[in-house]
Protein backbone atom coordinates (compact mmCIF):
# COMPACT_ATOMS: atom_id res chain seq x y z
CA UNK A 1 0.00 0.00 0.00
CA UNK A 2 1.47 3.33 -1.12
CA UNK A 3 0.65 6.75 0.26
CA UNK A 4 0.99 9.79 -1.99
CA UNK A 5 0.91 13.35 -0.71
CA UNK A 6 2.25 15.52 -3.50
CA UNK A 7 0.26 16.85 -6.42
CA UNK A 8 3.58 16.86 -8.29
CA UNK A 9 4.01 13.10 -8.00
CA UNK A 10 4.24 11.57 -11.49
CA UNK A 11 1.45 9.08 -10.67
CA UNK A 12 -0.89 11.94 -9.86
CA UNK A 13 0.06 13.68 -13.08
CA UNK A 14 -0.60 10.48 -15.03
CA UNK A 15 -4.05 10.05 -13.43
CA UNK A 16 -4.99 13.65 -14.19
CA UNK A 17 -4.13 13.06 -17.84
CA UNK A 18 -6.88 10.40 -17.95
CA UNK A 19 -9.44 13.20 -17.81
CA UNK A 20 -8.56 14.05 -21.44
CA UNK A 21 -9.25 11.93 -24.50
CA UNK A 22 -5.63 12.37 -25.60
CA UNK A 23 -4.35 11.11 -22.26
CA UNK A 24 -6.67 8.09 -22.40
CA UNK A 25 -5.79 7.29 -26.01
CA UNK A 26 -2.03 7.48 -25.36
CA UNK A 27 -2.10 5.27 -22.28
CA UNK A 28 -4.96 2.94 -23.28
CA UNK A 29 -6.34 3.47 -19.76
CA UNK A 30 -9.37 5.16 -18.21
CA UNK A 31 -10.39 6.20 -14.72
CA UNK A 32 -13.66 5.31 -13.00
CA UNK A 33 -14.85 7.07 -9.87
CA UNK A 34 -17.20 6.21 -7.02
CA UNK A 35 -18.05 3.02 -5.13
CA UNK A 36 -20.57 1.70 -7.65
CA UNK A 37 -18.37 2.01 -10.73
CA UNK A 38 -15.25 0.73 -8.94
CA UNK A 39 -17.21 -2.27 -7.71
CA UNK A 40 -18.53 -2.97 -11.21
CA UNK A 41 -14.97 -2.76 -12.56
CA UNK A 42 -13.72 -5.20 -9.92
CA UNK A 43 -16.58 -7.66 -10.50
CA UNK A 44 -16.12 -7.68 -14.26
CA UNK A 45 -13.54 -9.17 -16.50
CA UNK A 46 -12.09 -5.66 -16.92
CA UNK A 47 -8.43 -5.30 -16.19
CA UNK A 48 -8.14 -3.05 -13.14
CA UNK A 49 -4.59 -1.75 -12.85
CA UNK A 50 -4.85 -0.02 -9.53
CA UNK A 51 -7.24 1.37 -6.96
CA UNK A 52 -6.86 4.88 -5.55
CA UNK A 53 -8.44 5.72 -2.19
CA UNK A 54 -8.57 9.01 -0.29
CA UNK A 55 -7.13 8.68 3.23
CA UNK A 56 -9.91 7.99 5.71
CA UNK A 57 -12.16 6.42 3.05
CA UNK A 58 -12.85 2.72 3.73
CA UNK A 59 -13.11 0.18 0.95
CA UNK A 60 -16.07 -2.17 1.54
CA UNK A 61 -14.97 -5.61 2.77
CA UNK A 62 -16.64 -7.36 -0.17
CA UNK A 63 -14.50 -5.54 -2.76
CA UNK A 64 -12.31 -8.21 -4.33
CA UNK A 65 -8.92 -6.48 -4.33
CA UNK A 66 -6.45 -9.15 -3.15
CA UNK A 67 -4.18 -8.90 -6.15
CA UNK A 68 -4.61 -5.22 -7.02
CA UNK A 69 -2.31 -2.33 -6.13
CA UNK A 70 -3.91 0.18 -3.81
CA UNK A 71 -2.64 3.72 -3.41
CA UNK A 72 -3.87 6.01 -0.66
CA UNK A 73 -3.86 9.73 -1.44
CA UNK A 74 -4.58 13.00 0.35
CA UNK A 75 -7.95 14.71 0.01
CA UNK A 76 -6.21 17.34 -2.13
CA UNK A 77 -5.07 14.72 -4.65
CA UNK A 78 -8.49 13.01 -4.64
CA UNK A 79 -10.13 16.35 -5.48
CA UNK A 80 -7.56 16.96 -8.21
CA UNK A 81 -8.27 13.72 -10.06
CA UNK A 82 -12.04 13.70 -9.38
CA UNK A 83 -14.52 14.61 -12.12
CA UNK A 84 -17.43 15.06 -9.71
CA UNK A 85 -17.96 17.95 -7.35
CA UNK A 86 -18.33 15.84 -4.22
CA UNK A 87 -16.09 12.87 -4.84
CA UNK A 88 -16.59 9.63 -2.93
CA UNK A 89 -12.80 9.37 -2.86
CA UNK A 90 -12.42 6.00 -4.57
CA UNK A 91 -11.13 5.42 -8.11
CA UNK A 92 -9.99 2.57 -10.34
CA UNK A 93 -7.54 2.81 -13.21
CA UNK A 94 -8.77 0.37 -15.88
CA UNK A 95 -7.47 -0.82 -19.21
CA UNK A 96 -9.49 0.03 -22.33
CA UNK A 97 -10.68 -3.10 -24.01
CA UNK A 98 -9.28 -3.64 -27.46
CA UNK A 99 -11.49 -6.10 -29.23
CA UNK A 100 -11.41 -7.38 -32.71
CA UNK A 101 -15.06 -7.05 -33.62
CA UNK A 102 -15.53 -9.73 -36.26
CA UNK A 103 -14.20 -12.35 -33.87
CA UNK A 104 -17.08 -11.73 -31.49
CA UNK A 105 -19.80 -13.43 -33.50
CA UNK A 106 -22.25 -10.98 -31.95
CA UNK A 107 -25.93 -11.60 -32.74
CA UNK A 108 -27.38 -8.32 -31.47
CA UNK A 109 -25.38 -5.17 -31.94
CA UNK A 110 -25.91 -1.46 -31.40
CA UNK A 111 -23.90 0.77 -33.76
CA UNK A 112 -23.51 4.41 -32.80
CA UNK A 113 -22.80 6.90 -35.61
CA UNK A 114 -21.54 10.33 -34.47
CA UNK A 115 -23.59 10.72 -31.31
CA UNK A 116 -22.08 13.75 -29.55
CA UNK A 117 -23.56 14.12 -26.11
CA UNK A 118 -21.71 12.08 -23.47
CA UNK A 119 -24.90 11.64 -21.43
CA UNK A 120 -26.67 10.20 -24.48
CA UNK A 121 -23.80 7.79 -25.23
CA UNK A 122 -23.67 6.59 -21.63
CA UNK A 123 -27.44 6.10 -21.49
CA UNK A 124 -27.32 4.21 -24.82
CA UNK A 125 -24.64 1.86 -23.43
CA UNK A 126 -26.74 1.29 -20.29
CA UNK A 127 -29.82 0.65 -22.45
CA UNK A 128 -27.95 -1.74 -24.76
CA UNK A 129 -26.81 -3.68 -21.70
CA UNK A 130 -30.38 -3.85 -20.30
CA UNK A 131 -31.73 -5.00 -23.66
CA UNK A 132 -29.14 -7.79 -23.79
CA UNK A 133 -27.03 -6.56 -26.71
CA UNK A 134 -23.81 -8.46 -27.41
CA UNK A 135 -21.75 -5.39 -28.26
CA UNK A 136 -21.86 -1.62 -28.75
CA UNK A 137 -19.75 -0.17 -31.58
CA UNK A 138 -18.90 3.53 -31.59
CA UNK A 139 -17.99 4.83 -35.02
CA UNK A 140 -15.88 7.87 -35.83
CA UNK A 141 -17.28 11.17 -34.62
CA UNK A 142 -18.93 9.80 -31.49
CA UNK A 143 -17.96 11.05 -28.04
CA UNK A 144 -15.25 8.97 -26.35
CA UNK A 145 -16.93 6.19 -24.33
CA UNK A 146 -14.27 6.50 -21.61
CA UNK A 147 -15.15 10.15 -20.92
CA UNK A 148 -16.15 10.56 -17.24
CA UNK A 149 -19.67 11.70 -18.06
CA UNK A 150 -20.25 8.71 -20.37
CA UNK A 151 -19.00 6.38 -17.64
CA UNK A 152 -21.33 7.93 -15.06
CA UNK A 153 -24.41 7.79 -17.30
CA UNK A 154 -23.70 4.17 -18.21
CA UNK A 155 -23.66 3.19 -14.51
CA UNK A 156 -21.19 0.34 -14.93
CA UNK A 157 -22.47 -1.14 -18.18
CA UNK A 158 -19.02 -0.60 -19.73
CA UNK A 159 -18.02 -3.63 -17.67
CA UNK A 160 -20.94 -5.77 -18.84
CA UNK A 161 -20.57 -5.89 -22.61
CA UNK A 162 -17.89 -5.07 -25.19
CA UNK A 163 -17.76 -1.34 -26.02
CA UNK A 164 -15.66 -0.98 -29.16
CA UNK A 165 -14.40 2.16 -30.92
CA UNK A 166 -13.93 1.37 -34.60
CA UNK A 167 -15.04 2.26 -38.10
CA UNK A 168 -18.60 1.07 -38.71
CA UNK A 169 -17.88 -0.22 -42.26
CA UNK A 170 -16.12 -3.50 -41.35
CA UNK A 171 -18.82 -4.18 -38.74
CA UNK A 172 -21.59 -3.71 -41.29
CA UNK A 173 -19.68 -5.90 -43.76
CA UNK A 174 -19.20 -8.67 -41.19
CA UNK A 175 -22.81 -8.59 -40.03
CA UNK A 176 -24.15 -8.73 -43.59
CA UNK A 177 -21.82 -11.60 -44.46
CA UNK A 178 -23.31 -13.51 -41.55
CA UNK A 179 -26.80 -12.76 -42.95
CA UNK A 180 -27.84 -10.69 -39.96
CA UNK A 181 -30.23 -7.81 -40.74
CA UNK A 182 -28.81 -4.29 -40.46
CA UNK A 183 -31.38 -1.59 -39.65
CA UNK A 184 -30.78 2.13 -39.97
CA UNK A 185 -32.93 4.82 -38.39
CA UNK A 186 -34.31 7.81 -40.21
CA UNK A 187 -37.07 10.32 -39.54
CA UNK A 188 -37.95 10.33 -43.22
CA UNK A 189 -38.56 7.33 -45.39
CA UNK A 190 -38.26 3.78 -44.26
CA UNK A 191 -40.89 1.83 -42.35
CA UNK A 192 -42.26 1.94 -38.84
CA UNK A 193 -40.16 -0.20 -36.49
CA UNK A 194 -43.28 -2.18 -35.60
CA UNK A 195 -43.28 -3.69 -39.11
CA UNK A 196 -40.20 -5.74 -38.12
CA UNK A 197 -40.98 -9.10 -36.53
CA UNK A 198 -39.03 -9.23 -33.24
CA UNK A 199 -36.65 -11.96 -32.18
CA UNK A 200 -34.13 -12.42 -35.02
CA UNK A 201 -30.47 -11.31 -34.72
CA UNK A 202 -29.93 -7.71 -35.83
CA UNK A 203 -27.63 -4.73 -35.94
CA UNK A 204 -29.21 -1.32 -35.32
CA UNK A 205 -27.54 1.96 -36.32
CA UNK A 206 -28.43 5.07 -34.30
CA UNK A 207 -27.22 8.48 -35.47
CA UNK A 208 -26.25 11.99 -34.51
CA UNK A 209 -28.67 14.06 -32.38
CA UNK A 210 -29.15 16.66 -35.09
CA UNK A 211 -28.37 15.08 -38.44
CA UNK A 212 -29.25 11.42 -37.83
CA UNK A 213 -27.51 8.41 -39.41
CA UNK A 214 -25.18 9.28 -42.28
CA UNK A 215 -26.47 8.60 -45.79
CA UNK A 216 -23.56 6.26 -46.52
CA UNK A 217 -24.80 3.86 -43.83
CA UNK A 218 -28.50 4.26 -44.63
CA UNK A 219 -27.75 3.06 -48.17
CA UNK A 220 -26.27 -0.20 -46.92
CA UNK A 221 -29.08 -1.35 -44.63
CA UNK A 222 -31.71 -4.00 -45.16
CA UNK A 223 -34.34 -1.55 -43.97
CA UNK A 224 -34.44 1.92 -42.42
CA UNK A 225 -36.84 2.34 -39.53
CA UNK A 226 -38.64 5.24 -37.93
CA UNK A 227 -40.58 5.62 -34.71
CA UNK A 228 -44.01 7.19 -35.34
CA UNK A 229 -44.52 10.58 -33.68
CA UNK A 230 -48.11 10.69 -32.50
CA UNK A 231 -47.97 14.14 -30.89
CA UNK A 232 -46.34 17.35 -32.06
CA UNK A 233 -42.72 16.74 -31.08
CA UNK A 234 -40.28 16.65 -33.98
CA UNK A 235 -38.15 13.79 -32.71
CA UNK A 236 -37.25 11.63 -29.75
CA UNK A 237 -34.08 11.82 -27.70
CA UNK A 238 -31.60 9.37 -29.27
CA UNK A 239 -31.22 7.28 -26.09
CA UNK A 240 -35.00 7.01 -25.67
CA UNK A 241 -35.35 6.02 -29.33
CA UNK A 242 -32.64 3.36 -28.81
CA UNK A 243 -34.64 1.92 -25.92
CA UNK A 244 -37.88 1.73 -27.90
CA UNK A 245 -36.15 0.10 -30.89
CA UNK A 246 -33.84 -2.31 -29.06
CA UNK A 247 -36.65 -3.60 -26.84
CA UNK A 248 -38.92 -4.10 -29.82
CA UNK A 249 -36.34 -5.76 -32.07
CA UNK A 250 -34.96 -8.19 -29.51
CA UNK A 251 -38.41 -9.43 -28.51
CA UNK A 252 -38.88 -11.37 -25.31
CA UNK A 253 -36.41 -14.20 -25.87
CA UNK A 254 -33.58 -14.60 -23.36
CA UNK B 1 -40.80 48.62 -28.92
CA UNK B 2 -38.89 49.35 -25.72
CA UNK B 3 -35.14 49.48 -25.32
CA UNK B 4 -33.62 48.66 -21.93
CA UNK B 5 -30.02 49.37 -21.06
CA UNK B 6 -29.77 49.12 -17.29
CA UNK B 7 -29.30 45.93 -15.31
CA UNK B 8 -31.07 47.80 -12.49
CA UNK B 9 -34.28 48.22 -14.48
CA UNK B 10 -37.18 46.54 -12.62
CA UNK B 11 -38.11 44.52 -15.73
CA UNK B 12 -34.63 43.02 -15.86
CA UNK B 13 -34.82 42.20 -12.17
CA UNK B 14 -38.21 40.52 -12.69
CA UNK B 15 -36.87 38.41 -15.59
CA UNK B 16 -33.86 37.33 -13.54
CA UNK B 17 -36.20 36.12 -10.81
CA UNK B 18 -37.69 33.64 -13.31
CA UNK B 19 -34.49 31.61 -13.06
CA UNK B 20 -35.60 30.48 -9.58
CA UNK B 21 -38.54 28.25 -8.73
CA UNK B 22 -39.68 30.77 -6.11
CA UNK B 23 -39.71 33.57 -8.66
CA UNK B 24 -41.65 31.43 -11.14
CA UNK B 25 -44.16 30.27 -8.54
CA UNK B 26 -44.81 33.81 -7.29
CA UNK B 27 -45.33 35.30 -10.73
CA UNK B 28 -46.91 32.29 -12.46
CA UNK B 29 -44.53 32.97 -15.36
CA UNK B 30 -41.53 31.24 -16.92
CA UNK B 31 -38.84 32.22 -19.39
CA UNK B 32 -37.89 30.30 -22.54
CA UNK B 33 -34.70 30.97 -24.44
CA UNK B 34 -33.52 30.41 -27.99
CA UNK B 35 -35.16 30.59 -31.41
CA UNK B 36 -36.65 27.08 -31.35
CA UNK B 37 -38.37 27.37 -27.97
CA UNK B 38 -39.59 30.93 -28.59
CA UNK B 39 -41.05 29.81 -31.93
CA UNK B 40 -42.78 26.84 -30.27
CA UNK B 41 -44.21 29.18 -27.63
CA UNK B 42 -45.52 31.57 -30.31
CA UNK B 43 -47.03 28.73 -32.38
CA UNK B 44 -48.83 27.18 -29.44
CA UNK B 45 -51.83 28.19 -27.45
CA UNK B 46 -49.42 29.29 -24.67
CA UNK B 47 -49.87 32.81 -23.46
CA UNK B 48 -46.70 34.70 -24.40
CA UNK B 49 -46.54 37.92 -22.39
CA UNK B 50 -43.54 39.48 -24.06
CA UNK B 51 -40.54 38.82 -26.24
CA UNK B 52 -37.05 39.96 -25.28
CA UNK B 53 -34.42 40.41 -28.00
CA UNK B 54 -30.75 41.35 -27.75
CA UNK B 55 -29.94 44.42 -29.87
CA UNK B 56 -28.65 43.34 -33.26
CA UNK B 57 -30.47 40.00 -33.11
CA UNK B 58 -33.11 39.66 -35.83
CA UNK B 59 -36.42 37.92 -35.24
CA UNK B 60 -37.32 35.64 -38.17
CA UNK B 61 -40.03 37.08 -40.37
CA UNK B 62 -42.32 34.09 -39.86
CA UNK B 63 -42.50 34.63 -36.07
CA UNK B 64 -46.09 35.60 -35.38
CA UNK B 65 -45.61 38.55 -33.01
CA UNK B 66 -48.06 41.20 -34.18
CA UNK B 67 -49.84 41.55 -30.87
CA UNK B 68 -46.95 40.85 -28.51
CA UNK B 69 -44.78 43.35 -26.64
CA UNK B 70 -41.17 43.27 -27.74
CA UNK B 71 -38.35 44.66 -25.64
CA UNK B 72 -34.85 45.11 -26.99
CA UNK B 73 -32.02 44.81 -24.48
CA UNK B 74 -28.25 45.23 -24.40
CA UNK B 75 -25.95 42.23 -24.72
CA UNK B 76 -25.14 42.67 -21.01
CA UNK B 77 -28.80 42.24 -20.05
CA UNK B 78 -29.25 39.30 -22.43
CA UNK B 79 -26.28 37.57 -20.77
CA UNK B 80 -27.69 38.32 -17.33
CA UNK B 81 -31.05 36.66 -17.97
CA UNK B 82 -29.68 33.81 -20.12
CA UNK B 83 -29.34 30.29 -18.71
CA UNK B 84 -27.06 29.06 -21.49
CA UNK B 85 -23.42 29.92 -21.96
CA UNK B 86 -23.78 31.18 -25.52
CA UNK B 87 -27.23 32.69 -25.65
CA UNK B 88 -29.02 33.18 -28.96
CA UNK B 89 -30.32 36.45 -27.50
CA UNK B 90 -34.04 35.78 -27.84
CA UNK B 91 -36.44 35.00 -24.99
CA UNK B 92 -40.17 34.73 -24.33
CA UNK B 93 -41.91 35.33 -21.03
CA UNK B 94 -44.78 32.83 -20.88
CA UNK B 95 -47.63 32.17 -18.48
CA UNK B 96 -47.65 28.85 -16.63
CA UNK B 97 -50.72 26.88 -17.53
CA UNK B 98 -53.03 26.28 -14.64
CA UNK B 99 -55.27 23.41 -15.58
CA UNK B 100 -57.89 21.63 -13.63
CA UNK B 101 -56.94 18.07 -14.40
CA UNK B 102 -60.24 16.22 -14.07
CA UNK B 103 -61.81 18.53 -16.62
CA UNK B 104 -59.41 17.30 -19.27
CA UNK B 105 -60.97 13.89 -19.85
CA UNK B 106 -57.49 12.66 -20.79
CA UNK B 107 -57.29 9.10 -22.12
CA UNK B 108 -53.51 8.60 -22.00
CA UNK B 109 -51.61 10.15 -19.13
CA UNK B 110 -48.05 10.08 -17.84
CA UNK B 111 -47.76 10.61 -14.08
CA UNK B 112 -44.34 11.55 -12.71
CA UNK B 113 -43.65 10.77 -9.06
CA UNK B 114 -40.61 12.53 -7.55
CA UNK B 115 -38.30 12.43 -10.56
CA UNK B 116 -35.40 14.71 -9.61
CA UNK B 117 -33.17 15.26 -12.60
CA UNK B 118 -34.32 18.16 -14.81
CA UNK B 119 -32.86 16.47 -17.92
CA UNK B 120 -34.90 13.35 -17.19
CA UNK B 121 -38.12 15.33 -16.64
CA UNK B 122 -37.61 17.28 -19.87
CA UNK B 123 -36.87 14.12 -21.85
CA UNK B 124 -39.96 12.44 -20.35
CA UNK B 125 -42.14 15.40 -21.42
CA UNK B 126 -40.67 15.22 -24.95
CA UNK B 127 -41.26 11.46 -25.03
CA UNK B 128 -44.83 11.78 -23.75
CA UNK B 129 -45.49 14.29 -26.52
CA UNK B 130 -44.01 11.98 -29.17
CA UNK B 131 -46.05 9.05 -27.90
CA UNK B 132 -49.23 11.11 -28.11
CA UNK B 133 -50.06 11.41 -24.43
CA UNK B 134 -52.93 13.75 -23.52
CA UNK B 135 -51.26 15.15 -20.38
CA UNK B 136 -48.22 14.91 -18.11
CA UNK B 137 -48.82 15.27 -14.38
CA UNK B 138 -45.91 16.09 -12.07
CA UNK B 139 -46.56 15.12 -8.47
CA UNK B 140 -44.94 16.57 -5.37
CA UNK B 141 -41.19 16.10 -5.15
CA UNK B 142 -40.53 16.29 -8.90
CA UNK B 143 -38.24 18.94 -10.35
CA UNK B 144 -40.08 22.08 -11.51
CA UNK B 145 -41.11 21.63 -15.16
CA UNK B 146 -40.43 25.33 -15.85
CA UNK B 147 -36.76 25.03 -14.84
CA UNK B 148 -34.54 26.12 -17.76
CA UNK B 149 -32.89 22.70 -18.09
CA UNK B 150 -36.25 20.92 -18.21
CA UNK B 151 -37.42 23.35 -20.89
CA UNK B 152 -34.28 22.75 -22.97
CA UNK B 153 -34.50 18.95 -22.75
CA UNK B 154 -38.19 18.98 -23.65
CA UNK B 155 -37.43 20.93 -26.87
CA UNK B 156 -40.76 22.73 -26.97
CA UNK B 157 -43.07 19.90 -25.90
CA UNK B 158 -44.27 22.05 -23.00
CA UNK B 159 -46.26 23.90 -25.64
CA UNK B 160 -47.75 20.74 -27.18
CA UNK B 161 -49.59 19.10 -24.32
CA UNK B 162 -50.79 20.06 -20.81
CA UNK B 163 -48.00 19.83 -18.20
CA UNK B 164 -49.66 20.02 -14.79
CA UNK B 165 -48.11 20.25 -11.31
CA UNK B 166 -50.52 18.71 -8.81
CA UNK B 167 -50.94 15.96 -6.25
CA UNK B 168 -51.20 12.57 -7.96
CA UNK B 169 -54.04 11.30 -5.73
CA UNK B 170 -56.95 13.19 -7.33
CA UNK B 171 -55.62 12.23 -10.78
CA UNK B 172 -55.51 8.55 -9.85
CA UNK B 173 -59.01 8.83 -8.35
CA UNK B 174 -60.39 10.50 -11.47
CA UNK B 175 -58.78 8.04 -13.85
CA UNK B 176 -60.03 5.03 -11.88
CA UNK B 177 -63.54 6.48 -11.71
CA UNK B 178 -63.47 6.68 -15.50
CA UNK B 179 -62.44 2.99 -15.60
CA UNK B 180 -59.07 3.73 -17.16
CA UNK B 181 -56.26 1.34 -16.13
CA UNK B 182 -53.54 2.80 -13.89
CA UNK B 183 -50.14 1.10 -14.20
CA UNK B 184 -47.29 1.54 -11.76
CA UNK B 185 -43.69 0.62 -12.46
CA UNK B 186 -41.52 -1.44 -10.16
CA UNK B 187 -38.28 -3.38 -10.54
CA UNK B 188 -39.61 -6.04 -8.20
CA UNK B 189 -42.95 -7.76 -8.41
CA UNK B 190 -45.57 -7.02 -10.99
CA UNK B 191 -45.62 -8.33 -14.55
CA UNK B 192 -43.62 -7.67 -17.65
CA UNK B 193 -45.04 -4.73 -19.59
CA UNK B 194 -45.44 -6.98 -22.62
CA UNK B 195 -48.24 -8.84 -20.82
CA UNK B 196 -50.46 -5.76 -21.30
CA UNK B 197 -52.41 -5.66 -24.55
CA UNK B 198 -51.67 -2.31 -26.21
CA UNK B 199 -54.24 0.22 -27.36
CA UNK B 200 -56.58 0.88 -24.43
CA UNK B 201 -56.57 4.19 -22.50
CA UNK B 202 -54.14 4.16 -19.58
CA UNK B 203 -52.31 6.17 -16.94
CA UNK B 204 -48.67 5.22 -16.31
CA UNK B 205 -46.80 6.21 -13.14
CA UNK B 206 -43.00 6.60 -13.39
CA UNK B 207 -40.96 7.09 -10.23
CA UNK B 208 -37.83 8.52 -8.68
CA UNK B 209 -34.45 7.63 -10.23
CA UNK B 210 -33.25 5.88 -7.07
CA UNK B 211 -36.27 4.75 -5.10
CA UNK B 212 -38.88 4.23 -7.84
CA UNK B 213 -42.62 4.80 -7.50
CA UNK B 214 -43.82 5.33 -3.92
CA UNK B 215 -45.53 2.38 -2.24
CA UNK B 216 -48.70 4.42 -1.67
CA UNK B 217 -49.21 4.70 -5.44
CA UNK B 218 -48.14 1.13 -6.24
CA UNK B 219 -50.92 -0.13 -3.94
CA UNK B 220 -53.59 1.72 -5.92
CA UNK B 221 -52.76 0.48 -9.41
CA UNK B 222 -54.48 -2.12 -11.54
CA UNK B 223 -51.11 -3.68 -12.27
CA UNK B 224 -47.47 -2.85 -11.65
CA UNK B 225 -45.14 -3.38 -14.60
CA UNK B 226 -41.46 -4.03 -15.04
CA UNK B 227 -39.18 -3.99 -18.06
CA UNK B 228 -37.11 -7.21 -18.25
CA UNK B 229 -33.36 -6.67 -17.94
CA UNK B 230 -31.70 -9.12 -20.31
CA UNK B 231 -28.11 -8.09 -19.62
CA UNK B 232 -26.36 -7.21 -16.39
CA UNK B 233 -27.50 -3.64 -15.86
CA UNK B 234 -29.55 -3.06 -12.73
CA UNK B 235 -32.06 -0.66 -14.22
CA UNK B 236 -32.88 1.61 -17.14
CA UNK B 237 -32.76 5.39 -17.18
CA UNK B 238 -36.25 6.62 -16.22
CA UNK B 239 -36.75 8.53 -19.49
CA UNK B 240 -35.70 5.52 -21.58
CA UNK B 241 -38.03 3.30 -19.53
CA UNK B 242 -40.86 5.80 -20.14
CA UNK B 243 -40.26 5.56 -23.89
CA UNK B 244 -40.34 1.75 -23.93
CA UNK B 245 -43.53 1.63 -21.82
CA UNK B 246 -45.47 4.49 -23.44
CA UNK B 247 -44.79 3.21 -26.96
CA UNK B 248 -45.84 -0.30 -26.00
CA UNK B 249 -48.99 0.69 -24.09
CA UNK B 250 -50.35 3.14 -26.65
CA UNK B 251 -49.99 0.69 -29.52
CA UNK B 252 -50.11 1.89 -33.09
CA UNK B 253 -53.49 3.62 -33.10
CA UNK B 254 -53.57 7.32 -33.90
- pLDDT digit string, tens, across residues B87-140: 999 999 999 987 777 667 899 999 999 999 999 999 999 999 999 999 999 999
Cβ A227–B130 below 8 Å, yes or no? yes
Q: Model confidence at B47, in pLDDT bands (50, 70, 90)?
A: confident
pLDDT at B155: 96
Mean of per-residue pLDDT scores for chain B:
94
Cβ A130–B155 below 8 Å, yes or no? no
Query: Which range is least confidently modeled, A81-95, B37-51, B76-90?
Result: B37-51
Report yes or no for ipTM above 0.90.
Answer: yes
Cβ B127–A237 below 8 Å, yes or no? yes
Q: What is the pLDDT of residues A41-98, one digit of tens each?
A: 999 867 899 999 999 999 998 888 888 999 999 999 999 999 988 999 999 999 998 7
pLDDT at B187: 82
Cβ A252–B128 below 8 Å, yes or no? no
Most confident by average pLDDT, A219-228, B44-53, B63-72: A219-228
pLDDT at A254: 55
Cβ B237–A161 below 8 Å, yes or no? no
pLDDT at B98: 76
Task: Tell me which residue in A133, A230, A236 faces B250 most closely, judged by beta carbons.
Answer: A230
Q: What is the pLDDT of residues B150-186, one digit of tens each?
A: 999 999 999 999 999 999 999 999 999 999 999 999 9
Nearest CA in chain A to B251: A194
Mean of per-residue pLDDT scores for chain A:
94
Q: Does B157 touch chain A (CB under 8 A)?
A: yes
Q: Note whether B52 and B32 are within 8 A (CB).
A: no
pLDDT at A253: 67
pLDDT at A104: 72
Ramachandran angles phi, psi of A93, nearest 5°: -95, 120
Helices (H), A105-236: 118-130, 148-154, 168-177, 215-218
Segment A214-228 mean pLDDT = 97
- In this predicted model, which residue has the larger pLDDT, A202 or B67? A202
DSSP string, chain B: -EEE--TTSHHHHHHHHTTSHHHHHHHTEEEEESHHHHHHHHHSS--EEEEEEETTPPPPTT---TTSEEEEE-HHHHHHH-SSSS--SEEEEEEPP---GGGG--SEEEEE-S---HHHHHHHHHHHHHTT-SEEEE-TTSPPTTSHHHHHHHTTGGGTS-EEE--HHHHHHHHHHTT-EEEEE-SSSSEEGGGSPTTS-EEEEE-BTTTBS-HHHHTTSSEEEE----SS-S---HHHHHHHHHHHHHTT--
pLDDT at A64: 82
Mutate one of A130, A201, A202 to test the B interface: name it (highest B CB count within 10 A).
Answer: A130
pLDDT at A41: 94
- Count other C-beta atoms under 10 Å from residue B76's C-beta: 12
pLDDT at A46: 73
- C-alpha triplet A68, A72, A74: angle, nearest 5°: 155
Q: pTM (2 decimals)? A: 0.94
Q: Residue A162: exposed, middle, or buried by beta-carbon count in 10 A (0-12, 13-18, 19+)?
A: middle
Instruction: Tell me which chain B residues have a C-beta less than 8 angstroms from the C-beta of A243.
Output: 236-237, 240-241, 243-244
Q: Note whether B170 and B101 are within 8 A (CB).
A: yes
Cβ A237–B234 below 8 Å, yes or no? no
Query: Which range is least confidently modeled, A221-230, A245-254, B132-141, B167-176?
Result: A245-254
pLDDT at B254: 55
Task: Tell me which residue in A126, A242, A244 faces B233 most closely, judged by beta carbons.
Answer: A126
Cα A116 from Cα A236, distance rounded (Å): 15
Instruction: Tell me which chain B residues have a C-beta less than 8 angstroms from the C-beta of A161.
Output: 231-232
Return the bridge partners of A108, or none.
A202
> Could you tell me the domains of chain B?
2-95 (3.30.1330.30), 101-250 (3.40.1280.10)
Mutate one of A158, A160, A230, A238 to test the B interface: name it (highest B CB count within 10 A).
Answer: A230
Cα A43 from Cα A159, distance rounded (Å): 8
Cα B183 from Cα B193, distance rounded (Å): 9
What sign results for the dihedral spanned by CA atoms B215, B221, B223, B227?
A: negative
Q: Does B239 touch chain A (CB under 8 A)?
A: yes
Q: How far is B158 from chain A (nearest CA, A)?
A: 10
Q: Does A114 touch chain B (CB under 8 A)?
A: no
Cα B82 from Cα B90, distance rounded (Å): 9
Q: Is A26 helix (H, G, I), strand (E, B) or coil?
A: helix
Chain A, 124 to 153: residues with Cβ < 8 Å from chain B are 126-133, 153
Cβ B230–A161 below 8 Å, yes or no? no
Q: Note whether A18 and A27 are within 8 A (CB).
A: yes
pLDDT at A152: 96
pLDDT at A187: 82
Cα A247 from Cα A108, distance rounded (Å): 11
In sequence order, the 6+-apart residues with CB closer than 8 A to the CB of B242 are A240, B110, B124, B127, B128, B204, B206
Q: Model confidence at B52, in pLDDT bands (50, 70, 90)?
A: very high
Segment A203-224 mean pLDDT = 96
What sign results for the dihedral spanned by CA atoms B7, B145, B142, B100?
A: positive
Segment A28-39 mean pLDDT = 96
Amino acid sequence: MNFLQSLQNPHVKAWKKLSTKKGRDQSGLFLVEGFHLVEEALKSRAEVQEIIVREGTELPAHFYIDTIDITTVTDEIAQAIAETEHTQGVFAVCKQELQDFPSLGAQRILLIDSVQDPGNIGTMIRTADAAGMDAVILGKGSADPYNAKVLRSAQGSHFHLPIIKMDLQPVIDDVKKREIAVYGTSLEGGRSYTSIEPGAPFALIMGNEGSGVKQEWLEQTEQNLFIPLFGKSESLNVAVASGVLLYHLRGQLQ
